[in-house]
Amino acid sequence: MGKEINGKAYADKIYLEIREKTRRLKQKKGKVPHLSVIVAGDDPASKIYVNIKEKRAKENGMDFSLFRFKKDASEKSIIEKIKKINKNKKINGLIVQLPLPKKFNEKKIVNTVSLEKDVDGLHPASIGALLRNEDSFISCTPAGIMELIRSVKKDLSGMKAVIVGRSNIVGKPVSILLLKEHCTITICHSRTRNLKNEIKNADILVAAIGRPEFIKGSWIKKGAIVIDVGINRVEDKSRPKGYRILGDVEYKKAKKNASHITPVPGGVGPMTVAMLLKNTLKAFNQQQ
Ligand code: NAP
């Protein structure tokens, strides 16, 4: 039976370090890192995610500001605001909460965030730097995934890593990060011919598909490290909220074969915000 990788406990450890560092900064320099978030429209999931970011930033001693735009706001007004924040020396990190309402040109808006404040690591130059092994902000979910893998195995050299999903925010950057650790990588997607066979050979599996329990426990190689990124809301009338959250991997069965596995919830999810604050601290230090 494999061990659970407790992402929540790992994230709490990171928060503890961040709190200590912000406390010392306040003492020594009289200032602390400042994170800003731009939100447009009224997506309910975005609201929840932004609230968590605000709560975590504040409880870990950082300054936080939120800039809200209605869904009928102009793209120009958002871009103007980002340019203003880019010039504001008191703000160290800036993210645009995604997804934006469809009418906006998401790429154009995200690309306006200056490279030094791009704590979500989504700017094309941040991604280019990642590809070239140069220092950059690594986007938060992939960075969190790497911390969790390294928490159970330090040397990943030569391991076969299979990443299912090729999104810009998870699958592609995780692949590059695992390649950097000298893994042999296979990236799978909806056109992959025999997903089961690919997964059966994986020493490390990262599942980022968005389909509840799509990856069967019997597909997991004995001793594999399994990172389940999926967050899928599935109707369940027996629960108070009327739903439950499942990952992309059949957790209970996969745990029997895996050496280590992340649960959903409580695995990758809590790491994402912790890495955002870590990036904001890094931005602050670089800007001093
Ligand atoms: P996405 O942009 O929707 O991409 C999904 C990927 O899965 C695509 O590359 C798609 O292939 C692939 N896919 C879909 N069906 C497949 C199948 N039957 N077989 C193999 N591959 C298949 O997703 P995402 O934004 O990366 O998110 C993935 C999941 O992670 C979601 O559940 C999301 O909620 C979750 N997530 C969690 C966090 C966190 O903090 N924990 C952060 C981000 C995302 P094609 O490219 O061929 O379409």
pLDDT in tens, 1-21: 999 999 999 999 999 999 999
Tell me the average pLDDT across 263-281: 97
Contact 207, 249 (CB under 8 A): yes
Choice from 147, 209, 234, 272 to test ligand 1 binding pocket (greatest atom count within 8 A of CB):
209
| Radius of gyration over every alpha carbon of the chain, rounded to an integer in angstroms | 19
What is the CATH class of 29-114?
alpha beta
Site residues for ligand 1, CB cut-off 6 Å: 141, 164-167, 169-171, 188-192, 195, 208-211, 229-232, 268-269, 272
Break the chain down into helix, strand, coil percent, rounded to 5.
45, 15, 40
At residue 46, the 3 state secondary structure works out as helix
Which atom belonging to ligand 1 lies closest to the Cα atom of 191? 47
Residues classed as catalytic: 53, 97, 120
Structure tokens at 85: 């924040």
Which atom belonging to ligand 1 lies closest to the Cα atom of 214? 18
Ligand 1: which residue has its CA nearest to atom 18?
190
Choice from 189, 198, 213 to test ligand 1 binding pocket (greatest atom count within 8 A of CB):
189
Q: Could you tell me which of 33, 268, 265, 36 has the C-alpha nearest to residue 147? A: 268
pLDDT one-digit tens code per residue, 123-145: 999 999 999 999 999 999 999 99
Q: What pLDDT sits at residue 138?
A: 97
- The pTM of the full predicted model, rounded to 2 decimals, is 0.97
Give the right CATH number for 140-269 from 3.40.50.261, 2.40.110.10, 3.20.20.10, 3.40.50.720: 3.40.50.720
Query: At residue 100, what is the residue type?
Result: L
Which atom belonging to ligand 1 lies closest to the Cα atom of 192? 20
Q: Could you tell me which of 288, 153, 125 has the C-alpha nearest to residue 226? A: 153
Which atom belonging to ligand 1 lies closest to the Cα atom of 272? 40
The beta-carbon contacts of 16-25 under 8 Å, at least 24 apart in sequence, are 18/60, 18/61, 18/274, 18/277, 18/278, 18/281, 19/59, 19/60, 19/61, 21/281, 22/60, 22/61, 22/62, 22/281, 23/61, 25/284
**Confidence tier at 51 by pLDDT (50, 70, 90):** very high
Q: What is the DSSP track for 137-157? A: PPPHHHHHHHHHHHHH-S--T
pLDDT one-digit tens code per residue, 162-178: 999 999 999 999 999 99
Q: What pLDDT sits at residue 197?
A: 98
Contact 38, 97 (CB under 8 A): yes
184 burial level (CB within 10 Å; 0-12, 13-18, 19+): middle
Matching fold, domains 29-114 and 140-269 = yes
- Give me the residue spans of the domains in the chain: 29-114, 140-269
In the chain, how long is the greatest CA-to-CA distance?
57
pLDDT one-digit tens code per residue, 62-100: 999 999 999 999 999 999 999 999 999 999 999 999 999
Q: What pLDDT sits at residue 233?
A: 94
Q: What pLDDT sits at residue 270?
A: 96
Q: What pLDDT sits at residue 53?
A: 98
**Confidence tier at 57 by pLDDT (50, 70, 90):** very high
Q: What pLDDT sits at residue 282?
A: 98
Q: What pLDDT sits at residue 187?
A: 98
- The CA 211 to ligand 1 mean position distance, Å, reads 8
Q: What pLDDT sits at residue 33?
A: 98
Q: What does DSSP say about strands 204-207 and 232-235: parallel, antiparallel, or unpaired?
A: unpaired
Ligand 1: which residue has its CA nearest to atom 19?
190
